[in-house]
Structure 1
Amino acid sequence: MKGAVVNNQDGAKKFAGLLRKLKKSPLPDPDKSNDAVEVLIKSFLIWDSTTSKASAAYKRIMDRIVDYNDLRVTMSHEIVEWIGPRYPRAQERCQRIRAALQHTYKREHAVSLDRLHSLGRREVKHYLRSLDGILPYVADRVTLLCFEAHCVPVDERLRRALITAAVCDDTVTVNDLSSWLARQVKAANSTDTHYVLQAWTDRPGSVSKKKTAKSRA
């Protein structure tokens, strides 16, 4: 990453040390669902938020719908009311969820991603990243947890936390940071690493509120 990591070697050492330290702390419960649509929705809710907020929001959504097709045809402002208007980036988040479900239905004639299990991992990643409303974090998290692809999902919260930990500087983008982290983590460890980092950013005080030079791009 050009200018993104404080120093490639130094950043790698700091990240390895950070992981060793973080692995000593309790992890959030892993997402055991094999339903890629469920993980997709949960990933949209976790993006730039916390696990506890996302879990509560997902439950509120599920309490109000019959199935995911029901959610697809629900207007985004109604979903905002369900999760609460104070939820981080509520309007954008709900618009993205609805857009992704609508595009999935248009492609599959159902709100289902089951067909992706017959595709290669590269095809799966391309498919998910081309969905309307999708975010790299959401696509990577679904690809990792449902299709066992090697990646490290990164959102703005994780980016800011790693900047604060001096693993990278504030010129790094989310996409570049995700690519760099994937090179630091073995494929067999990528799921555990995701949950370790997720638990870390869930902790109060781990994410700086100070705005940095770049964000999602």
Structure 2
Amino acid sequence: MAAAKKVTASDKQAVAKKVVTLLGKRYKKSVAKQDRPILETMIYANCLEDNTVELADQAYERLMDSFHDLNEIRVSSVREVEAALGGSHSADWRALRVRTILQQVFEKKYAFDFEHIRRKTLDLANKNLARVAKLTPFARHYTLQSALGSHLVPADGRMSRAAIWLGLAAPKLSPEKASDALKSSVRKADVSVFCHLLRCLANEPRLLPTFDNVSKAVPEGGFDPLTAPARLAELLVEADKPARRKTTKKKVTKSRAAKGASAGKTATKKRKKAVKKKRVVKKKLAKKIAAKRGGTKKKTKAKKKKRS
């Protein structure tokens, strides 16, 4: 794999467009519009981080359906909130974050309302959200981009590793810094679609090992973004190939099973023959015994006649 070359922002934008085209053919390009209040958007972002949209939607709906309102979530235990999130991975951490966010917001204004940041500039809104405990950089960026329409590219851990593999972010960048790096590669109008498709790619089960081990496979100079479309096409082709089966072991087990079956059949045949022989022998013995008994009876009758 060739080392990454110095590329301009326009080059990265062209690469990002090609990546979107490739991924758009594989995944659904439509993105559902989010019209939640600010606080609910923060909670949803917590469900979405390092997760698929489908699983995040399910976790968020279960959470909201399990409690009467946000105040009930705030006063519930972490375990109760975790149980409501269902089978979502890292549900314990998500539950802790949700409850901490609600507690801090309520303690400041005694109300579950964070809509005031809509009237603030991006910098002030970002500072307000940064003060919320347990609100991750991804959740903060997602809230600013989704609810306020800011030009930000919210990337979580999985998305940032995929972006590094594509060469759109430098190796070993944190998710927050990777989000900043992606901002110059994606136009504001394309952020929603790009993030959606990158999330689909980063969370595809058969591709997870590739991106999770990206830090161990970084070539000298980093990944070249100019080769990203070709590398991505090859990766998707490999992902679509059926999983390799260990045919040798299966053949061995089949032959063993066949041998065992044949051995079982021969054993049953031998048993049947032995049983038949025993029956024949028993019949012969029974006939001999009957014949002997019949002979002795005749002799006794003859003796009795002579005596009489």
Category of TM-score, reference length = shorter chain = 0.7 to 0.9
Rounded Cα–Cα distance in structure 2 between residues aligned with 1:183 and 1:8: 15
Deviation of 1:29 after TM superposition, in Å, equals: 4.2
Unaligned runs of 5+ in 1: none
- Contact in 1 for aligned 2:34/2:147 (Cα 8 Å): no
**1:116-135 correspondence runs (5 A):** 116-135=117-136
Q: Which residue of 2 aligns with 1:148?
A: 149
Q: Which residue of 1 aligns with 2:84?
A: 82
**1:7-156 correspondence runs (5 A):** 7-9=5-7, 12=12, 14-24=15-25, 25-27=27-29, 29-84=31-86, 86-156=87-157
When residues 212 and 106 of structure 1 are mapped into structure 2, their CA distance, relative to the original with a 3 A threshold, is farther
Rounded Cα–Cα distance in structure 2 between residues aligned with 1:28 and 1:56: 19
- Contact in 2 for aligned 1:72/1:98 (Cα 8 Å): yes
Rounded Cα–Cα distance in structure 2 between residues aligned with 1:166 and 1:182: 14
- Contact in 2 for aligned 1:51/1:202 (Cα 8 Å): no
- Contact in 2 for aligned 1:158/1:207 (Cα 8 Å): no
Rounded Cα–Cα distance in structure 2 between residues aligned with 1:74 and 1:7: 53
- Contact in 1 for aligned 2:101/2:134 (Cα 8 Å): yes
**Secondary structure in 1 matching 2:208:** coil
**1:163-202 correspondence runs (5 A):** 163-168=164-169, 170-202=171-203
Deviation of 1:158 after TM superposition, in Å, equals: 0.5
Deviation of 1:155 after TM superposition, in Å, equals: 0.6
Determine which structure has greater relative contact order: mean sequence separation of CA pairs < 8 Å that are 6+ residues apart, divided by chain length: 1
Question: What is the CA deviation profile of residues 63-104 of structure 1, one whole-angstrom value per residue up to 9, with x for unaligned ones?
Answer: 1111222212221111111223x5221111111111111111
Unaligned runs of 5+ in 2: 217-308
Give % identity.
20
The total of aligned residue pairs comes to 209
Q: Structure 1 stretch 28-37 or stretch 59-68: which is displaced more?
A: 28-37
- Contact in 1 for aligned 2:202/2:208 (Cα 8 Å): yes
User: Normalising by the residue count of structure 1, what TM-score does the alignment of the two structures yield?
Assistant: 0.84
When residues 90 and 212 of structure 1 are mapped into structure 2, their CA distance, relative to the original with a 3 A threshold, is farther
User: Normalising by the residue count of structure 2, what TM-score does the alignment of the two structures yield?
Assistant: 0.61
- Contact in 1 for aligned 2:31/2:193 (Cα 8 Å): no
Instruction: Give the structure with the higher percent helix.
Output: 2
Rounded Cα–Cα distance in structure 2 between residues aligned with 1:202 and 1:27: 16
Q: CA RMSD in A?
A: 2.5
